[in-house]
Amino acid sequence: MDILLLFEQTLNGLQLGMMLFLIAAGLTLVLGIMNFINLAHGSFYMVGAFFAATLYELTDSFVLAVPLAFVASACFGAALEFVALRALYDRNHLDQVLGTYGLILFLAQMARIIWGAEPYDIPVPAFLSGQVEILPDAPYPVYRLAITAVAALVGVALWYLISRTRLGMLIRAGASNREMVGALGVDIRLLCTFVFGLGAALAGLAGAMTGPILTVNITMWESILILTFVVIIIGGIGSIRGALVAALLVGLVDTLGRFLLPELFGPTTGPALSSMSIYILMAVTLCLRPQGLFSSAHG
């Protein structure tokens, strides 16, 4: 086995894990605070990527396009919550699933009308192109390291917001007892709109950052949404710490599984096992800790 290639795949797994964390963090807060199942969360990942592609064409600057896509995704998510999703908060989970699935179809067609069916390519910025040798004879793309670093910085900022600010205190309290927070005079609807917009912004940022690696298209949300729900189930609903730990686990298991299992079990059984690996991890977690690795009380 090539040790250097294994090291590279491990870094790829960490990068995937940090991207999954950005997407899962917002969704787990929405589930924890609002008890709201939003199947359309992956669409914010897609919309954020399209925002970044459009803004890059307008500004010719990736450094400007990414933060602007973050803000645009936040505004888009907050507006969508206010116009369409707020009415579903008091409905049962089946209604929420059906409503947000319909929203998926709507957003996919909206993206097709606005951006077309042809994929968009976002070039890697010149100052982040090329490779760097982390270990001797082990070059690794600078841009993938930048993605991991940005996601880590955003994760630290999110931790500070949740753990060290009054707004974060309200979010944590809302995750524990939404009705009590409302009874104490907090505008719970405004808090929900903020959390929903924050979740959309984080998903949009993930889409914007992965745009130069993956082709931006109207179906890019499909695979990432499934991984995101796996992360939330493993980490625990409402827990930011759980989302981080689970995202890194899922990223590493998925990436290393696709690399190692075909070598260990052959070209037929190996790929099948690698596709099942994250679901096996989820099943084992649920058997040992049905509530997930962390509860919302752990932050």
Q: How confident is the model at residue 136 (pLDDT cuts 50, 70, 90)?
A: confident
Does 299 have pLDDT greater than 70? no
Does 269 have pLDDT greater than 90? no
Q: How confident is the model at residue 296 (pLDDT cuts 50, 70, 90)?
A: low
Does 178 have pLDDT greater than 80? no
The confidence score (pLDDT) of residue 48 equals: 96
The confidence score (pLDDT) of residue 280 equals: 94
The confidence score (pLDDT) of residue 283 equals: 95
Q: How confident is the model at residue 193 (pLDDT cuts 50, 70, 90)?
A: very high
The confidence score (pLDDT) of residue 162 equals: 87
**pLDDT (tens digit per residue) in 148-174:** 999 999 999 998 998 889 888 888 777
Strand-pair partners of 135: 138
Q: Which comes out higher in pLDDT, residue 248 or 296? A: 248
Q: How confident is the model at residue 222 (pLDDT cuts 50, 70, 90)?
A: confident
The confidence score (pLDDT) of residue 1 equals: 54
The confidence score (pLDDT) of residue 168 equals: 85
Mean pLDDT score across all residues of the chain:
90
Q: How confident is the model at residue 298 (pLDDT cuts 50, 70, 90)?
A: very low
CA geometry: angle 253, 256, 258, nearest 5 deg: 100
With a threshold of 0.85, does the pTM exceed it? yes
Average pLDDT (12-37) is 90
Does 262 have pLDDT greater than 50? yes
Q: In the chain, what are the domains? A: 3-298 (1.10.3470)
